[in-house]
Each structure stands twice: as structure tokens, then as C-alpha cells.
Amino acid sequence: MSHTAELIAVGTELLLGNIANTDAQMISQGLSELGINVFYHTVVGDNPDRVRQAVDIAKKRADILITTGGLGPTCDDLTKVALAQAFGRKLFYHEPSAQRIRDRFAAMGRPVTENNYQQAMIPEGATVLDNDWGTAPGVAFAADGVHVLMLPGPPRECEMMFQHRAVPYLRGLSDGVIASRTVKTFGIGESAAESVLRDLMNALHNPTLAPYAKPNGTELRITAHADTEAEALALIAPVEEQVKALMGHYVIGVDVDSLEEVCFSLLQAQGLTLGTAESCTGGLIAKLITDRPGSSAIFRGGIVSYTNAVKHHVLGVPQDLLDTYGAVSPQVAEAMARGAKQALGCDIALSSTGVAGPDPDDRGNPIGLVYLGIAWGDQCVVKALHAGTMATRERVRNQAAQHSLDLLRRHLTGLPLEES
């Protein structure tokens, strides 16, 4: 039997446009992977009557109802109250949840306020979904032929509670599985990738193949539906090989998050250490690398040289290079990479220097021009990146950091350092 879910997000801040309903996106992706259809999302404010009305409509249309938000003390826990009423359940005080709240506040060294205890009120007959990521417990119960799950609204809490609490619950309800594998590329746009893959996409039914433009590269998702995960993966495997062959050097990996992750694994496997010398990216490359646990094994350190004085004194960039060519030049990018390798004692160093905007530099270099260096052994290669004069500061910085990591990926996998 196939299931139909609806999502109801409770929160006036959504109706005021303070935030987007990213919880609905995250949960919808997860439900799609479980093979559960979603026909409607509803957003409603912190108003008991309107929450109740939304629930009354949804329970006629769906057999799985997932709410997000409205569980915190500041909204009088109105989602639990409204859902309990809609399904004719009383709320009772759940001592283990109260104890968890006490423990959590104690660990943070903060006093429990009276309204925090509202979060320990639970509909009768409900399963408590322990919240290890915040104070409001989630709740699940089945009534009137509908499975009801209530999750907290803050996006990170919601995601953890969905993945670790709701998904195991829902997995017990669904038949058949949808499995997917994602071939991640860097350096090729969505429509260019689609042109290359169009014949293959049109020929496929199960699995299907679809491109998704993501901020840091185009993803090619292959999705199959079958009785078991193993059967679904067997359907996917040959298509994955075809996609990888068609995309060539642009493929950075399969089911990988990011270039950071790929570079991290390559450095670790090859026993090499990295350092950075950043000007226009201002610490972003170091930040991306050190986002990952265990990065101290492969990352020695970085120098954010935002002024010529720091480039000269800390990185040892010769003053005459800075005077002759300016800070935004291939010569300085090379000296920065070589200097960082020396100063930080690492095997490979990455450098960036460019014009992030919003203004061109004083030598007339355009916004979006960035030189990226990579130094190893006694060698160094510098690549020019043109992010485009229309690009925002944020985009120039992100693109520069990603292309720097792609240089590193190409170096570590023996590919040509230019995209092709």
C-alpha cells in the first residue's frame, strides 16, 4: 500500500517571511527517498484555531501527517494542543521528558523556567521521540487511520529529529524502496550537463536520471524504485557507469558532499599535508577544510594575508613582486603558495589573490579576476579564474575557494590542472 503524507509547518515567522520553509524541503526529500508521496505542504501561524483548521483539512487527504514547529515554550506548545484536540487525545505530564529538560538545562548551566515544562506535556498513547538536539521532544501517534508525527521547527533540530526519529518510524510503514545515487560534478553547468546526457535521460524509465544545479556543482541523480534496496542499486549501477563516462574529468565523486570531502580523503589516503595562503578568500578555504572532523591530520594551517605587509612579512612574498605586478597577479599567487608551503611546513599549499568586489582594485583589475596557486615539491602552477564582473562578492569568494579545491583534486588524482 502506498502512503500519502502532508506537511504542516506552524510558525508566524514563516508567514511574515522571516525564514523560508526549509524544513518542508528537507522532509520532502526524505519522504521521496522512502517512496512516500507528498501532495501538499501547508504553512500556518501561531494561532490555535487556524492550526486546528489546517489539521482537519489535511487528515482527510493524507494518512501520514508531519508537523514542524509550534512545540517551543514561546508559542504555548500550540501544535501539540491542536493535534491532540483534532484527534481526541488528552495531554498528560510526561516525567521522563521533564527530567530530560532539567538535565539539558543543567548541562548548559541555565535555570529551567516554568514555560520550559510545557514541552513535557504529551498526548495520551503517543510515543515520545527523544530530542538529543534541543529541548522540545517530538511526538508520534496513530489515530483515525492517520500517522501523526510532530517535530520541532528549528532547522537543525528538525533535520536530526527527522533523520534519527521519524525515518525509522516511517520505514516500518512503507513498502518498496526508492534508492538513489548522485554523481557529483564540478566545473560544468546544469544545461551543459543536460545537453550531454539528454539521450540517456530520455531513454530511461527506472532508474531515472535528473540533473540538479547546486551552489558548488551540478549533481546528476539516478533514482530507482524496487522491492529491495539491493535490487534498486543493481538497476542504478550500469547507469552510474554511463554517466561517469559521459561526464569525464568533471566527476568529483559519487554520493559525496563536496570538493572539501573529496580532497580530504585524497590527502588522507596519500599521507600528505596541506596549507593555505589566502587573500581574497579571506580564510574561506581554511574554514572549508577544517569544517571536517579529523582535519588536523591533513591540515597544517593557513595564513590570511589581507594586506601587502602580511604577504611580505609572514609569507615572504618579495616586495619587488608586489610593487611591480601588484597583489593581484600570477607572480604574487605563486610567491604566496611557495611562501605558505615554507612557512607552514606542509606538502602542498594553495593560494588565492583576486578582486572580490564590490570595487575593482587600484590597478584596474576587474571584479571577479582571481589567481589561484598550487605549490608542491619545488613546483607551482597558477590558474586564472574569471568569475565575471557581474558576480557578487560572495559568489567570487565561493567560486575561488571551490576552484582552488578543484585544482587540488586534479593535482591529487593526476588529472590535467585545467578543466577540459
Binding its own copies (rule: CB under 8 A), the pick from 115, 163, 270, 413 is 115
Cα–Cα distance measured from residue 350 to residue 274, given in angstroms and rounded to the nearest whole number: 8
Comparing CB distances to its own copies, the nearer of 42 and 67 is 42
Q: Name the nearest CA neighbour of 21 among 66, 58, 69.
A: 69
Identify the burial level of 145 via C-beta atoms within 10 angstroms of its C-beta, where 0-12 means exposed, 13-18 middle and 19 or more buried.
exposed
Comparing CB distances to its own copies, the nearer of 90 and 212 is 212
Residues 287-316: x where in contact with its own copies by CB under 8 A, - otherwise, as a string: x-xxx-x-xx--xxxxxxxxx-xx--xx--
Binding its own copies (rule: CB under 8 A), the pick from 44, 183, 321, 369 is 44
Contacting its own copies within 387-406 (CB under 8 A): 388-390, 393-394, 397
- Residue 64 near residue 5, CB atoms below 8 Å: yes
Q: Name the nearest CA neighbour of 205 among 226, 190, 230.
A: 226
Comparing CB distances to its own copies, the nearer of 194 and 231 is 194
Kindly state the helix (H) or strand (E) to which residue 114 belongs, with its residue range. none
Q: How far is the CB of 124 from its own copies (least distance, A)?
A: 26
Q: How far is the CB of 125 from its own copies (least distance, A)?
A: 28
Q: How far is the CB of 198 from its own copies (least distance, A)?
A: 9
Binding its own copies (rule: CB under 8 A), the pick from 123, 207, 211, 354 is 211
Q: Which stretch binds its own copies (CB under 8 A): 85-93, 120-128, 264-272, 278-286?
A: 278-286
3-state secondary structure of 268: helix
Cα–Cα distance measured from residue 84 to residue 89, given in angstroms and rounded to the nearest whole number: 5
Q: Is residue 74 near its own copies by the rule CB under 8 A?
A: yes
Cα–Cα distance measured from residue 24 to residue 30, given in angstroms and rounded to the nearest whole number: 10
Q: Name the nearest CA neighbour of 300 among 282, 281, 273.
A: 273
Q: Is residue 212 near its own copies by the rule CB under 8 A?
A: yes
- Residue 72 near residue 152, CB atoms below 8 Å: yes
Q: Which stretch binds its own copies (CB under 8 A): 211-219, 229-237, 261-269, 404-412?
A: 211-219
Q: Which stretch binds its own copies (CB under 8 A): 85-93, 121-129, 251-259, 351-359?
A: 351-359
C-alpha cell recorded at residue 225: 524504485
Q: How far is the CB of 211 from its own copies (least distance, A)?
A: 6
Binding its own copies (rule: CB under 8 A), the pick from 185, 216, 276, 399 is 276
Contacting its own copies within 11-40 (CB under 8 A): 12-22, 24-32, 38-40
- Residue 337 near residue 350, CB atoms below 8 Å: yes
Contacting its own copies within 181-200 (CB under 8 A): 189-192, 194-195
C-alpha cell recorded at residue 174: 512503507
Q: How far is CA 401 from the centre of its chain?
A: 16
Binding its own copies (rule: CB under 8 A), the pick from 48, 52, 57, 225 is 57
Comparing CB distances to its own copies, the nearer of 210 and 246 is 210
Residues 6+ away with beta carbon under 8 Å from 102: 112
Q: How far is the CB of 127 from its own copies (least distance, A)?
A: 23
Cα–Cα distance measured from residue 401 to residue 395, given in angstroms and rounded to the nearest whole number: 10
Q: Which stretch binds its own copies (CB under 8 A): 81-89, 169-177, 260-268, 337-345?
A: 337-345
Cα–Cα distance measured from residue 267 to residue 244, given in angstroms and rounded to the nearest whole number: 22
Binding its own copies (rule: CB under 8 A), the pick from 124, 132, 227, 418 is 132
Q: Is residue 372 near its own copies by the rule CB under 8 A?
A: no
Q: Is residue 109 near its own copies by the rule CB under 8 A?
A: yes
CA angle 196, 202, 204 (to 5 degrees): 110
Long-range CB contacts for residues 196-200, cutoff 8 Å, separation at least 24: 196/246, 196/247, 197/243, 197/246, 200/239, 200/242, 200/243, 200/246
Q: How far is the CB of 335 from its own copies (least distance, A)?
A: 16
Q: How far is the CB of 295 from its own copies (least distance, A)?
A: 7
Binding its own copies (rule: CB under 8 A), the pick from 35, 154, 207, 354 is 154
Residues 241-270: x where in contact with its own copies by CB under 8 A, - otherwise, as a string: ------------------------------
Binding its own copies (rule: CB under 8 A), the pick from 10, 34, 54, 204 is 54
Alpha carbon separation from 183 to 47, 163, 248, 250, 334 (Å, rounded): 44, 22, 11, 10, 33
Total residues binding its own copies (CB under 8 A): 96
- Residue 108 near residue 99, CB atoms below 8 Å: no
CA angle 65, 66, 70 (to 5 degrees): 125
